[in-house]
Amino acid sequence: MKIVKINPDGSRISFSAFYYGDTESYNAIAVLDASSGEVQTIYGFGPGYFLGNLGWSPSGTYNLISVYEEDYHQTYLYKVNPDNLEDYAELYGPAYIYDAHWGELNPSKIEEEHTQNRNIPISVSISPNPTKFSTQINYAIPGNSKIKVEIFDILGRTVRVWERKNIPAGEHTIVWDGLDDDGTPLPPGVYVCRIMTEFGNNSVKIVRTK
């Protein structure tokens, strides 16, 4: 059974659900009108992300959700305005899940994480931004790492993904041609680029113009 949360004035409810799209399915958050049961919005981060419904902010403006990223075993706390999906913020994270047995942390694993300088902010820049055609995603990492770069649309759907292994330390560039993974041109709008590494992550907005 999904945990249902009611906003402070009792007019809306939210719960975690499973979204079935035309080409992909993933865990999402659904927001409904409490009286009619009408779905007002459904949003998510795409496949590989598991969203927990934590409740509402005291003002009733934001959903508070946890986001678990399966590939990198990281969890984040977000606030999301379901009436304006561009209005969101990462409040905390990433938190890493270490080797553990019944709540007992593995000290050697924790030490290993610290020596690898985890949670270092990853430098990311987009040029040009806004863009009408192609744009460069520039990033720098402090050491060898696997990386995952994702582009999300305003509804939180994953539209483009790059994954690389054994990327050396230093500055790197990925060119996004404005296409999705199927080679289809994407419409103008606001997109989010998230870069995930073994050292830390970063997210930036990309604006595509007409």
- What one-letter code names the amino acid at 110? I
* 39-48, 60-69, 84-93, 101-110: range with lowest mean pLDDT: 101-110
136-148 residue pLDDT tens: 999 999 888 889 9
121-133 residue pLDDT tens: 688 999 999 999 9
What was the pLDDT predicted at 62?
93
Six-digit token string for 197: 């590494």
Smallest CA-to-CA distance from 27 within 68, 74, 87, 79 is with: 68
Return d(Cα 210, Cα 191) in angstroms, integer.
Answer: 14
- Residue pair 30/43 in contact by the 8 Å Cβ criterion: no
How would residue 102 be classed by pLDDT, with cut points 50, 70 and 90? Answer: very low
What was the pLDDT predicted at 14?
94
